[in-house]
Amino acid sequence: MAPVTLKKLVKSYGNVDVVHGIDLEVKDREFIALVGPSGCGKSTTLRMIAGLEDISGGVVEIGGKPVNDLPPRARNISMVFQSYALYPHMTVRENMGFSLKIGKVAQSEIDTRVNEAAAILDLDKYMDRRPSQLSGGQRQRVAMGRAIVRKPDVFLFDEPLSNLDAKLRTQVRTEIKRLHAKVQSTMIYVTHDQVEAMTLSDRIVIMRDGHIEQVGTPEEVFKRPATRFVAGFIGSPPMNLNEATVADGKLVFAGGQSLPLPIEFRGKVAAGDKVIFGLRPDDIYPTGHGLNSGEATDVHEMELPVSITEPLGNETLLFITMAQREWVSRMLNPRPMGAGEMVKFSFDLSQAHLFSPETGKTLRR
């Protein structure tokens, strides 16, 4: 039973703050992903939870108790490093049993627990090999095995998949998810890959420049991004974000082209306001080729020329130029389409977002 709580957590190097007093509550057995671009402070935050980095201000609580001054070994955590950090002079078995050996656990108990973990991760065949004799994916599994064997209160993952090739990454991702279902511990997972964050976690914490931008379930951060940054960061291809001016029930873009003001935002913005208009590629589609075709409530149709097509098999990405900007559209059940063709597009404005250009915050209230 170990919830993790961060209260006003600060990290500074000299005069430079890299984490600016973040608050976060991770529930017991929750899988939380910290995601953000490099340098956003997510790894530093994780390392402060682990005790590998001094805490400049605020409190880290594990299991309800402050652990600020406890060394890593006293926090009952496990960590999987990006580099795996396996001990090269030990076999897989010794690597996995190391924490128990240090903890003076009886050898028979060590053997049972190591074998148990090996069975979970399908490592039985490699137990007597050295890390240098393993492939990247196997090393990754050993690192996870080493973490499980400890039966920690909290698992910490520091970009564990970024050294694996794409195919292996999806495979190990599934394994981590399965692992969480089996061991039922609190897990905190740092990644810069929003797909990993979305697929793995119960809740996502999106960080930027040492601040938390939004905390929410994958669906929340996707459907209801709190800031323009979150909107652009989550989702692939990213949301189309363009500046517009509100005028008389319309959004006027650069060059004079306009879209009707989404029903949802009527009354929330005033004429003359500058806004950032956001719409996901999924919500701009050639009429009849969208996800919500037929049931969408606030659709605006417009004929536009297609400049580039990127067929992906089950869907095609279309690049269209409107208001002097390139917009991305996603066509489901694609039909062959050539560049330059005039196509009738549906803009599903019920899915649109408006953000303030100054604060970046959503204007949905």
Partner 1 sequence: MDQNSSHRLKRRGLKVLHLAGLFLAMLVICLPGLWIVLSSLRPTVEIMAKPPVWIPQDVSLDAYRAMFGGAGQGGIPIWEYFRNSLIISITSTAIALIVGMAGGYAFARYKFKGKSGIFLGFMLTRAVPGIALSLPLFMIFARVGIIDTHFAMILIYVALNVPFTIWLIDGFFRQVPKDLAEAAQIDGCTRWQAFWQVEFPLAGPGIASAGIFAFLTSWNEYALASQITRSVNSKTLPVGLLDYTSEFTIDWRGMCALAVVMIIPALTLTFIIQKHLVSGLTFGAVKG
**Residue 118 lies near partner 1 (rule: CB under 8 A):** no
CA distances from 96 to 85, 113, 124, 149 (A): 12, 9, 12, 7
186 close to 3: Cβ distance less than 8 angstroms: yes
The two structure tokens encoding residue 17:
């703050």
* Contacting residue, 86, 118, 144, 187, with partner 1 by CB under 8 A: 86
Helix, strand, or coil (residue 103): coil
- Which of the 8 DSSP states describes residue 68? T
- Smallest distance from the beta carbon of 357 to partner 1, in angstroms? 42
Nearest approach, Cβ of residue 32 and partner 1 (Å):
18
Radius of gyration over every alpha carbon of the chain, rounded to an integer in angstroms: 24
Which among 321, 299, 290 is positioned nearest to 308, based on CA atoms?
Answer: 321
2 with 63: CB under 8 angstroms? yes
Q: Tell whether residue 50 is a contact of partner 1 (CB under 8 A).
A: yes
Q: Can residue 127 be called a binding residue for partner 1 (CB under 8 A)?
A: no
CB 319 within 8 A of CB 331: no
Q: Output 80 or 244, the one with its CB closest to partner 1.
A: 80
Binding test (CB under 8 A) with partner 1, winner from 23, 37, 54, 87: 87
Candidate list 46, 67, 98, 216; residue touching partner 1; CB under 8 A: 98
136 binds partner 1 (CB under 8 A): yes
Strand partners, 332: 315
Q: Counting contacts by CB under 8 A, is residue 134 touching partner 1?
A: yes
27 or 130: CB nearest partner 1: 130
The residue from 66, 103, 311, 357 that contacts partner 1 (CB under 8 A) is 103
Of 88, 272, 336, 338, which one interacts with partner 1 (CB under 8 A)? 88
The residue type of 257 is: Q
Residue 54 interacting with partner 1 (CB under 8 A): no
**Spatial contact of 96 and 146, defined as CB atoms under 8 Å apart:** yes
User: How many residues of this chain interact with partner 1, rule: CB under 8 A?
Assistant: 31
Q: Which residues contact 180 (CB under 8 A, 6 or more apart)?
A: 31, 187, 200
Site for partner 1, rule CB under 8 A: 50-52, 71-73, 77-79, 81, 83-89, 98-99, 102-103, 130-134, 136, 139, 146, 150, 163
